[in-house]
């Protein structure tokens, strides 16, 4: 059913509890919502649509609110198909609707859906009056596609933010953050940011600067809760993530074929704990999905990667993580690495080169031939102490 957010703004989104992989890559154990909003005024405006497989129930929600009125405007903040997929259905049901978007948006609408009639191009800071509601449009390119924008209702101080401030996890009954246990959404917001938006820290910073001067009482994202009570926390999280400000903790991500590199991960974690680091997350890369590993790397400042040498290269699971890290351009990390080899050691060279490319602070490395020996534990201890010193200020010894 549709949900009234205030006197004139309605939530008409849907929940997806069927899809296993978002973008056919990222696990959705708790589902995801596709959010869309309808404003009733002298003119009516629909903001974004939903994924095409939900269009039948979506159209029914809209029709129940319009109650025979026509739909005047369809405003598109973002063109990914999980939000634009029902555009053709909307045009079929409401043939007179005028589609509002920026130049890049309109080009994508034609490219994806072969629609080029009854469209209106808007530019940055343009406005649209619906009656008592006046919408202002802010172009926010590369958050996280080139056409992304946000629509701001001056009357109610409501920001329709596109994918920004969104999360994985379906909405279970409630829509407003005041109706939900929002603690369940924080980690999924970080995972969403890390995997969807993470590469675009600079554009996110520019968008935050553009929004800094406006009053926001409600944030209507295209995924997850509608934010009213937690706006400060949500914006603060985006500020930290886009600035690559990790918390004082360490992610240990390792690949291991026969258990030798895994043993090193356990040893160095123990020494990190002794040195005063409390937030320690260990990921076996052969088991942990990369989306969760990346979320923790965005969350914490310290990173240790362990890998054996495999066919004169990194272990494939470790190599995959390295590629994903480079793609996202993660900055400001305190780094160390460890690994093992049998006849030719390459992994540590590759991981050291990663630190150089990313301009991370390198705290050291350890590599064992075949297996770690008791007299080598001290080297892992010193690596742990070096990292802890950067994070929690322990005294080196």
Residues 294-319: pLDDT tens digits?
Answer: 999 999 999 999 999 999 889 999 99
Half-sphere CA count of 297, side-chain side, radius 13 A? 29
Average pLDDT over residues 186-215: 96
Q: Could you read off the pLDDT of 353-366 as tens digits, one per residue?
A: 999 999 999 999 98
End-to-end CA distance of the chain: 63
Backbone angles phi, psi at 134, to 5 degrees: -120, 120
pLDDT attached to residue 1: 67
Q: Could you read off the pLDDT of 256-280 as tens digits, one per residue?
A: 999 999 999 999 999 999 999 999 9
- Tell me what percent of the residues of the chain surpass a pLDDT of 70: 99
The radius of gyration of the chain from alpha carbons, rounded to an integer in Å, stands at 24
Structural domain boundaries in the chain = 3-242, 247-388
Instruction: Assess contact for 185 and 38: CB atoms under 8 A.
Output: no
Half-sphere CA count of 382, side-chain side, radius 13 A? 9
Query: Is domain 3-242 given the CATH code 2.60.34.10 in the classification?
Result: no
Would you say how long the chain is, in residues? Answer: 397
Instruction: Assess contact for 87 and 49: CB atoms under 8 A.
Output: yes
Task: Please determine whether the domains at 3-242 and 247-388 fall in the same fold group of CATH.
Answer: no
Q: Could you read off the pLDDT of 102-141 as tens digits, one per residue?
A: 999 999 999 999 999 999 999 999 999 999 999 999 999 9
| Rounded distance between C-alpha atoms, residue 389 and residue 240, angstroms | 22
- The CATH architecture annotation of domain 247-388 reads 3-Layer(aba) Sandwich (3.40)
Using the structure block, give the residue that is written with the tokens 């993470």: 198
150: closest CA among 97, 208, 84, 190? 208
| Rounded distance between C-alpha atoms, residue 388 and residue 367, angstroms | 20
């Amino acid at each position: 059913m549709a949900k009234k957010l205030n006197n004139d703004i309605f939530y008409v989104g849907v929940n997806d509890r069927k899809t296993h992989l978002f973008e056919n890559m990222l696990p959705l154990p708790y589902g995801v919502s596709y959010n869309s909003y309808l404003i009733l005024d002298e003119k009516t405006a629909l903001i974004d649509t939903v994924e095409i497989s939900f269009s039948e129930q979506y159209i029914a929600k809209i029709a129940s609110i319009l109650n025979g009125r026509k739909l005047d405007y369809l405003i598109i903040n973002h063109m990914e198909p999980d939000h634009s997929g029902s555009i053709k259905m909307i045009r079929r049901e409401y043939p007179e609707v005028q589609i509002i978007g920026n130049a890049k948006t309109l080009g994508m609408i034609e490219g994806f859906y072969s629609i080029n009639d009854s469209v209106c191009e808007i530019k940055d800071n343009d406005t649209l009056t619906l009656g008592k509601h006046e919408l202002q449009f802010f172009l926010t390119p590369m958050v996280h596609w080139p056409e992304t924008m946000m629509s701001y209702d001056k009357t109610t101080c409501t920001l329709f933010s596109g994918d920004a401030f969104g999360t994985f996890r379906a909405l279970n009954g409630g829509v407003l953050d005041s109706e939900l246990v929002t603690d369940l959404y924080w980690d999924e917001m970080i995972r969403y940011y890390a995997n969807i938006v993470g590469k675009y820290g600079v554009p996110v910073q520019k968008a935050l600067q553009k929004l800094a001067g406006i009053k926001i009482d409600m944030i209507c994202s295209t995924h997850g809760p509608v934010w009213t009570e937690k706006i400060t926390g949500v914006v603060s999280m985006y500020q930290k993530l886009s600035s690559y400000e990790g918390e004082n903790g360490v992610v240990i991500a390792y690949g291991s074929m026969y258990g030798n590199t895994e043993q090193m991960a356990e040893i160095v974690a123990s020494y990190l704990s002794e040195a005063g680091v409390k937030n320690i997350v260990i990921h076996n890369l052969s088991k942990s999905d990369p989306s969760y590993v990346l979320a923790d790397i965005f969350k914490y400042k310290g990173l240790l990667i362990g890998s054996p040498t495999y066919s004169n290269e990194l272990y494939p699971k470790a190599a995959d993580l390295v590629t994903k890290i480079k793609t996202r351009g993660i900055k400001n990390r305190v780094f160390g690495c460890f690994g093992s080899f049998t006849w030719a050691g390459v992994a540590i060279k590759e991981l050291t080169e990663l630190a150089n490319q990313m301009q991370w602070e390198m705290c050291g490395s350890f590599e064992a031939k075949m297996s770690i020996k008791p007299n080598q534990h001290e080297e892992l201890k010193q690596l742990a102490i070096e990292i802890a010193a950067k994070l929690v200020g322990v005294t080196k010894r």
